[in-house]
Structure 1
Amino acid sequence: MNQKTILCVDDEINVLRSLKRLLRNEDYQLITANSGTEGLAVLAEQQVSVVISDQRMPEMTGTEFLSQVKEKYPECVRVVLSGYADAATILDSINKGAIYRFLTKPWNDEEIRITIRQCLRQHELLEENRNLTQEIKLQNAELSKLNQRLEDLVGKSTQSLHFSQEVLASIPIPVIGISAEGIIVLVNEAVDQMFPELRDIHLGSDIKDAFSNEIYVTVSDCLSGTKPVETDSLDVFGRQVLAHCKRLTNGEELRGCVLALEEKP
């Protein structure tokens, strides 16, 4: 883990020297600045985890300084150190600087150490949250791309399906699709045109209820695979037709069959 940096801002040199002596053995880098302007210059050039600022400084107060830090470096944890612990100063610092802690002068050495450790932990949490948020954004962007690809594929598949249905509907030979369970799932337009007697066929009907026993036996033999010949000569409403029945499988799984009726010349 990279060493963290603490920035202390105070216009009193003796205060900064005291903080350096107090924190010289801690496991982080301590840098100082004599004003808010100087502190902002440091922040512009160096990554800082925690800023501890005096409240009453010339030209720029601690509240004004930390307000700019909040705007430019929101993940930098901010602490006010002031010898004037009146309620108005505290409230103003909280509202404008979004401070994490308010410490008073003279300070308690152990309180300073504990507060800085807590601030460093808070900074780590903010960094983890930022990284997690960024990771979620990247994952969401990738998910959005995958969804778009899926929508494109579905769109293309739907177009292909519609086209296939149009082609099937326009074939001048009566075609009937039958599921593995013997249920009618497809009837093209040529069935109605060439065999008006079959116009009452409804999707979802059982093959044995829609056709003659002769056709039912042909389809049943086709589905079961007991009859190797895929073409039969049948009588359909007094007309001789060739019934072409083709089994449809997916590997070893039976999906159904297609029955095509061709009137003999």
Structure 2
Amino acid sequence: MNQKTILCVDDEINVLRSLKRLLRNEDYQLITANGGEEGLAVLAEEEVSVVLSDQRMPGMTGTEFLSIVKEKYPECVRVVLSGYADAATILDSINKGAIYRFLTKPWNDEEIRVTIRQCLSQYELLQENRNLTEEIKLQNVELNRLNQQLEDLVGKSTQSLHFSQEVLAKIPIPVVGISAESIVVLANEAVDKMYPTLREVHLGSDIKDIFSSEIIETVTNCLSGSKQSETVPLTIENKQIRIHCKKLMDGDHLRGCVLSMEESYG
């Protein structure tokens, strides 16, 4: 963990010297500034975790100074150290400077040490919250990117599927998709255009309700047999055709078959 920095701001040199002596053995860097302007100059150059400021200083009060610190360095924990502990000053400091603690002069040495340790813990908590917020923002950006990629992929897949379905529908060869349960799940336009007697081939129909016994036997043999395909010559509407039936497998799992009909010319 990087060493933290404490900034003490007071217009009285003796007060700053006393704080240096008090805190010289603590595990953080201590920087002093002789007034609000000098304190702001330090903050512009250093990453400060805690600011301990006097209230009544010439040129800029502690409340005014800490209000600027709150605006420019909101994670810096702010403490007022003042010999004038009137209620109005305390309230004004809290309202304008978002003060974490208000300590009075003369101070208790141990109270100063404990307060600064508490302030450092508060600073670390604010840092963790900021880091967590940034991490969540980055995760949200990545999630949005992945969602967009998924939407693009789904869109392209859908377009590809629609195109494939359109191509299949327009193929001038009758094609029927049949499930493993002998139910028609696909039939292209060529089925009823080329063989009007098969116009009852509708999705969801059982093959035994629409096909001849020869076609049913061919499909049944294909689905239940050991061969991957069956080809049988038949006559439909006085046309010599060949029925091709090919299994569709998903690994070892039977999904169904594709039935196509091709005219035979000798």
Shorter-chain TM-score category?
over 0.9
The separation in 2 between residues aligned to 1:200 and 1:228, in whole angstroms, is 27
Name the counterpart of 1:154: 154
Q: Secondary structure at the match of 1:21?
A: helix
Deviates more, 1:138-147 or 1:6-15: 138-147
Name the counterpart of 1:113: 113
Q: How do residues 89-108 of structure 1 correspond to structure 2 at under 5 angstroms?
A: 89-108=89-108
Name the counterpart of 2:15: 15
Q: CA deviation at 1:237?
A: 5.5
Name the counterpart of 1:31: 31
Q: What is the root-mean-square deviation of aligned Cα atoms in Å?
A: 1.7
The separation in 2 between residues aligned to 1:87 and 1:212, in whole angstroms, is 101
Which amino acid letter does the alignment assign opposite residue 36 of structure 1? G
- Paired residue total: 265
Alignment partner of 1:246 is 2:239: no
The separation in 1 between residues aligned to 2:228 and 2:113, in whole angstroms, is 90
Alignment partner of 1:211 is 2:192: no
Name the counterpart of 1:221: 221
2:229–2:246 contact (8 Å) kept in structure 1:
no
Alignment partner of 1:174 is 2:174: yes
Name the counterpart of 1:187: 187
- CA offsets, 1:92-118, max 9 Å, x none? 111111111111112111111111000
The separation in 1 between residues aligned to 2:5 and 2:140, in whole angstroms, is 33
**Structure 1 residues 250 and 137: CA distance shift in structure 2, 3 A:** same
Name the counterpart of 2:44: 44
The separation in 2 between residues aligned to 1:233 and 1:262, in whole angstroms, is 9
- CA offsets, 1:59-111, max 9 Å, x none? 11111111111111111111111111122211211111111111111211111
**Structure 1 residues 37 and 259: CA distance shift in structure 2, 3 A:** same
Deviates more, 1:42-51 or 1:135-144: 135-144
The separation in 2 between residues aligned to 1:147 and 1:177, in whole angstroms, is 34
Identity %: 80
Q: CA deviation at 1:236?
A: 3.7
The separation in 2 between residues aligned to 1:87 and 1:204, in whole angstroms, is 84
- CA offsets, 1:168-208, max 9 Å, x none? 01011111111222221111111121223333332122222
The separation in 1 between residues aligned to 2:247 and 2:176, in whole angstroms, is 12
Q: Secondary structure at the match of 1:75?
A: coil
Name the counterpart of 2:127: 127
Q: CA deviation at 1:132?
A: 1.4
Structure 2: tracts of 5 or more residues without a match: none
Which amino acid letter does the alignment assign opposite residue 122 of structure 2? Q
Which amino acid letter does the alignment assign opposite residue 54 of structure 1? D
Which amino acid letter does the alignment assign opposite residue 181 of structure 1? E
Which amino acid letter does the alignment assign opposite residue 124 of structure 2? E
Name the counterpart of 1:197: 197
Q: Would you identify which runs of 4 or more consecutive aligned residues in structure 1 move more than 6 Å? A: none
The separation in 2 between residues aligned to 1:119 and 1:83, in whole angstroms, is 21
The separation in 2 between residues aligned to 1:231 and 1:126, in whole angstroms, is 75
Q: Secondary structure at the match of 1:107?
A: coil
Alignment partner of 1:82 is 2:113: no
- CA offsets, 1:19-47, max 9 Å, x none? 11111111111110011110000000011
Q: Secondary structure at the match of 1:205?
A: coil
**Structure 1 residues 191 and 60: CA distance shift in structure 2, 3 A:** same
Question: Normalising to structure 2: TM-score of the pair?
Answer: 0.93
Q: CA deviation at 1:228?
A: 6.1
